[in-house]
Amino acid sequence: MAQQQNNPFAEAFKAFSNFQQSPNANFRDVFNAGRRNVEVITAANQAVAEGAQAVIRRQVEIAQKNAEGAIDLFKEVATSKSPEASIAKQAEFARNVFESSLATARELWEITSKALGEATEIVNKHVVSSVEEATKSAKKSAA
């Protein structure tokens, strides 16, 4: 006895046909919901992209500042009168770089956190709005 195979495409088409014939089928609402979903994803991605750009800009500024500091250190060490003075300058530079790195990490984390918070806020507002809209639509269909 041959086993009958289910065709998932035929089943999906049949379900879609049944939905289309339903008196409550409103394709405009379905299309608009999909369009709003795309708009929300685009806005959230934009917030994340702007945050990433801000982080990159700040990293470039920091790299330039660090390069300038290293050049200044090399000049001072090269013109230093004694090895002790050179070592003191290098130690001071290392301490400054360490402190600056901690502050920079905190600053970059804040920029990133803000961007992700904005993206999350955009998505959360949309989810709340969609749930409210679905609830209204369900009540309207039930009536």
Question: Does 135 reside within a domain?
Answer: yes
* 8 Å CB contact between 107 and 58: yes
Element spanning 26, H or E: none
| Residue 13 resides in a domain | no
Token pair for 1: 């006895």
Q: Which residues contact 22 (CB under 8 A, 6 or more apart)?
A: none
17 belongs to a structural domain = no
In a domain, 5, yes or no: no
Residue 108 has pLDDT above 90, yes or no: yes
Instruction: Give a yes or no: residue 129 inside a domain.
Output: yes
CB 23 within 8 A of CB 140: no
Q: Domain for residue 74, yes or no?
A: yes
pTM summary value: 0.66
Residue ranges making up the domain that contains 48: 27-142
User: Distance from first CA to last CA of the chain, Å, rounded?
Assistant: 49
What pLDDT sits at residue 64?
A: 95
User: Between these two residues, 115 and 133, which has the higher pLDDT value?
Assistant: 115
- By the 8 A CB rule, do 122 and 47 touch? yes
CA 99 from centre of chain: 28
Total domains present in the chain: 1
**Cβ atoms of 83 and 99 closer than 8 Å:** no
Is residue 19 in a domain? no
